Amino acid sequence: MKIGLIGKEENPNTVTVTKRIIEKFSSDKTEWLIENQLAGLVGVNGYNKVEIPKLSDIIIVLGGDGTFLGVARLVGDLETPIVGINLGSLGFLTEIQIEEIDSLLEDIIKGNYTVEDRIRLTVHLHRKEERIAQYNVLNDVVINKGALARIIELETFLNDEKLSTFRADGLIISTPTGSTAYNLAAGGPIVSPKLNCMIITPICPFKLSNRPIVIPDSYKIKTFLHSQKGDVFLTLDGQVGISLMEGDRVEVKKADHSLKFIKPKNKSFFHILRTKLKWG
C-alpha cells in the first residue's frame, strides 16, 4: 500500500508525528510518500506534493482543517481517499486525534475503514459574459463585503427562478461538509454530510425574514452582484479570494466528482458533533 503524507510543516508536532509514523508503520507492504519539505525535515526522500494524490492509494493529512482543504484541492477529480489527523484546534475535517493515530493506521493497513462520498461544489465566475475563473470547493463559497463596504445587493436565482435579492453583508453557499464552518458561525443549520443538498445562508441580512435555506444539490445557483460600495470578495473554502465587480455573476452547482473521505468505523458524524461542540 502506498500512503501519501502531507503535513503543515510550521506546526512543531508535524515532524515528531511523522517520524513516529514512519518508524512504527514502515514495512515491505507499506510505502510512505512524504511531500518534499516535510521529508527533508525528517531525513527521508520526498515527493512533489502535487504528484502525491496520483501516486498514493490513500493520503493522510497532518494539521488542521485549513491544511485538509488545501490537500482536497490537490486531489481534485481523483478518487484518492484522504483522512485528517488533527494537529490544529477544533478540527471537524481533521477528526483524528494524536492519541488515535496508532489504531487508525493499524485499521488502514488492514483495510478496516469505510469511505464516505462528500459532495463538492463547482464555482464559475462570469464578468461581462466571459467566464474568468472556475474552482471546486469542499466547504463553501462566500460573497462578502470588505471591512468598510456598505450592505451589498445579491440577486439570487435557483434554476433560473428568482429566490431573493439579498441585501446583506454577504452570502454563504455551503455543502453539508461545510455546514459546521462559516455557515454555522453565521447562524446556518448543521447538516449531516450524508444528505444531498446545499445550504444558502445570508450574512447579517437587512431583512430579518431572510433566513438560511436548504435546497437539493441538483439545483444550480446564480447570484448577481448589483451594487458595490467598497470592496466585495468571492472567497472559496476560506483560502482563495477574488475581488468582485458590480455586475459579476457567480454560478454554483454540485461538482461532477465527490471527495473520498476515510471514516474510522468507530466515529460517526454525531460523535464528532458531541466531541467538538461539547454537547455532552
Q: How far is the C-alpha of 240 from the C-alpha of 152, rounded, in Å?
A: 20
Confidence class for position 208, pLDDT limits 50, 70, 90: confident
Confidence class for position 216, pLDDT limits 50, 70, 90: very high
Find, among 240, 255, 231, 243, the residue nearest to 127 by Cα: 243
User: Which pLDDT does position 112 carry in this prediction?
Assistant: 86
What average pLDDT does the structure give for the chain?
Answer: 92
pTM for this entry: 0.92
Any alpha helices (H) in 117-191, and if so which ranges? 182-185
Q: Other C-beta atoms within 10 Å of 148: how many?
A: 8
Average pLDDT of the segment spanning 96-115 = 89
Name the pairing type of β-strands 31-34 and 2-7. Answer: parallel
Any alpha helices (H) in 26-168, and if so which ranges? 36-42, 52-55, 65-75, 101-110
Give residue 52's identity as a one-letter amino acid code.
I
CA 76 centroid distance within chain: 12
Question: Domain extents for the chain?
Answer: 2-118+258-276, 121-254
**Distance linking the first and last C-alpha atoms of the chain:** 38
| Secondary-structure class of domain 2-118+258-276 per CATH | alpha beta
User: Which pLDDT does position 218 carry in this prediction?
Assistant: 97
Q: How far is the C-alpha of 24 from the C-alpha of 27, rounded, in Å?
A: 9
Active-site residue, selected from the candidate residues 28, 65, 102, 237 = 65
Q: How far is the C-alpha of 35 from the C-alpha of 70, rounded, in Å?
A: 13
User: Which pLDDT does position 166 carry in this prediction?
Assistant: 96
Check if the beta carbon of residue 51 is closer than 8 Å to that of residue 76.
no
Handedness of CA 244, 248, 253, 256 (dihedral sign): negative
* Of the candidate ranges 86-90, 116-120, 160-164, the one whose mean pLDDT is the lowest: 86-90
CATH architecture of the domain formed by 121-254: Sandwich (2.60)
Name the pairing type of β-strands 197-203 and 170-174. Answer: antiparallel
Per the listing, cell 443538498 goes with 197
pLDDT tens figures, 132-174: 999 999 999 999 988 777 889 999 999 999 999 999 999 999 9
Q: Other C-beta atoms within 10 Å of 15: how many?
A: 16
Residue 85's SS3 state is strand
Q: How far is the C-alpha of 241 from the C-alpha of 223, rounded, in Å?
A: 17
CA 239 centroid distance within chain: 10
Q: How far is the C-alpha of 28 from the C-alpha of 26, rounded, in Å?
A: 7
Within a 13 Å sphere around the CA of 114, how many CA atoms are in the beta-carbon half?
9
Q: CB within 8 A of 178, min separation 6: which ones?
A: 137, 138, 139, 140, 199, 237
Catalytic residue status for 117: no
